[in-house]
Chains A and B, each alone.
Chain A
Amino acid sequence: MLKINDLYVSIGDREILSGVTLEVKAGEIHAIMGPNGSGKSTLAAVLAGRETFTVTKGSAYFMGVDLLALPPEERARLGLFLGFQYPVEIPGLTSVNFMKAAVNEQRKYKHLPPLSAGEFLKLMREKMAVVEMDPAFVGRGVNVGFSGGEKKRNEIFQMAMLEPMLAILDETDSGLDVDALRVVANGVNKLKTKDNAFVVITHYQRLLDYIVPDIVHVLYKGRIIKSGSKELALEVENKGYDHIISGT
């Protein structure tokens, strides 16, 4: 589904990713761990199409399409989703109108007619239930006045609405209390099928108690220095990154 080969990425003169190679297949959950500044969020942003970064070398194919040649909206329509570490506030635009625009753009791409108001509200209610979200939120400005936990829940709600093939969740667990973490993780588990895939970026092993990864990667200084089964996450938790870095 996703094939990244020897990807180098810079911002200005500074190289952030130095040869990342990664393959994600349908039905898999990958976890990417790594210390601060290792390039985790950059990898997520580059895959989603953030223009502040420059790809200097390498390739990324998603569903057989050259991902790096597409603008962010086309990547999204192909089925790529980025759950933001810091979801953006948009005062004046309600979540309802935001999601209506997004869902209908996606339907337009699939040559489907826009959803009627009734169908749309039904879909929203259904997906809000997945993340135990208060329906009052959708009438408010996107992420405006939301707590950290509510913002992350809103990301998972948006993911549920758009049903992506591949979701990259960038530190969705950071800033969450235990209950919110459980709700967010349950949301991911409910949306998991054999046809879609997840890349979960996290600092901590805690999230991986709830979302069990098939493969864990450790990213350090812009390279994946170690990949392994879910036990690798426990090793990170118990012995720290230094141990893994010095062992490679």
Chain B
Amino acid sequence: MKEYTYMPEVKRVFQCTVPGGNIRQVFLIDGILQEKESEQNGVSLTSGPDGKGLQLRISGDHSENPIQIISVRSEDLPRPLEFYNTWELEPGAKAQIVVCDHTLREYLYQTVRFSNITLGEGAVLDLLFMQNEHGRSRYRLEVDAQLKKEARLDCHILSLYGGTIQNKVTVHLQESGAVCNLDGLYLADGEQNVTYDIEVRHNSGECNSNQLFKGILDEQAKARFDGIIYVAPHAQKTEAFQANHNLLLTRDAKITTLPQLEIYADDVKCSHGATIGSLDPLGLFYMRTRGIPLSEAKMLQQMAFVQDVLEHVRNGAIRSRLEKIVESRLRGEFTKCTHCTMHCC
């Protein structure tokens, strides 16, 4: 492990703790793990082979003790950075992981984070990515998840701030009874550009997947949603659903959405759908006739739009914090957590 000089400052700046439960914070600065490799109580935590990234191996039930991975870019002379995480849940293991990606300064950071995830038989992972950098950063997340028999992955991605945010998530449902719920929420304005490239591969029968992705685009922001559900020829009794809904607040905001189904089995239940719309003028008028000012009515309508994505976050304490962060993001305020002294964006 490389000695890290920024650590005291970073710890002071990111004082956030995920409320509720016994949280374990792990810092990665510029991809480098900031603590000694360890193995205790069924959680093994090591650096990747190249000294970067985080390797986690989890056994047992840790669902009440979230692991928060705070990943910060901090260099004064930033160069493009790539690192690999490998997270493995052993059969029957349960875990909750919250990943918060930040930048310490407003430099042009370019980061590619790979996360290879393996869930053993019956393992359950609740995973949340908070993408909160700044308007000039370039961010790419690549998740590749393998789910064994009756494993369950709940993955929520919240794209709050970043110049360019690219998310590529591929989930392989390898054995029967595996369940995958993917959600995403992207809020973009200015010149921001967000892409989601989602592929759920039903390689085995009797698996279930649900996707709900929603976006609100303001000013000249652009987004692209490219989602595929693939059902292999032998993957009978598959249930797979995908929805992508978008709200455009200006004429200049732009969304391209490509929901796709590729089905080679014949006994399946699958659906997909995408919508693009604007705020509902009649709904706004209705709220205004109750004394709610136009700006607040717009805000309420946007919060109402994203509500079902937030409701999928099961941890109540994290969900209520996310609601506050999303609201302040939509109000155009800094989306920092209340305890944090950092202006993340």
Q: A residues within 8 Å of B by Cβ?
A: 48-51, 71-73, 75-77, 81-82, 84, 87-88, 90-93, 97-99, 101-102, 105-106, 109, 141, 158, 162
Contacts and interface: CB of A to CB of B under 8 A. Distances in A.
A92 B304 CA distance: 4
A93 B291 contact: no
B296 A101 contact: yes
B293 A73 contact: yes
Given A49-B285, A98-B300, 4 more contacts: A76-B288, A88-B282, A93-B307, A105-B296
Categorize the interface residue count of chain B.
Answer: 20 to 34
A93 B304 contact: yes
B290 A158 contact: yes
Nearest to A101: B292
Nearest to A88: B286
Contacts of A81: 289
The 7 closest A-B pairs by CB, nearest first: A92-B304, A92-B307, A76-B291, A93-B304, A72-B288, A102-B290, A88-B286
B243 to A, nearest CB: 13
Interface string B289-328: 1111110110011011111100000000000000000000
B304 A72 contact: no
B310 to A, nearest CB: 9
A236 B218 CA distance: 52
B286 A102 contact: no
Interface of B: 280, 282-283, 285-294, 296-297, 300-301, 303-308
A76 B285 contact: no
B263 to A, nearest CB: 29
B293 A105 contact: yes
Contacts of A73: 288-289, 291-294, 297
A81 to B, nearest CB: 7
A77 B280 CA distance: 22
A105 to B, nearest CB: 5
B282 A92 contact: no
Contacts of A92: 303-308
Contacts of A97: 300
A164 B291 CA distance: 11
B292 A102 contact: yes
Given A72-B285, A88-B282, A101-B296, A162 B291 contact: yes
A101 B303 CA distance: 13
B248 to A, nearest CB: 17
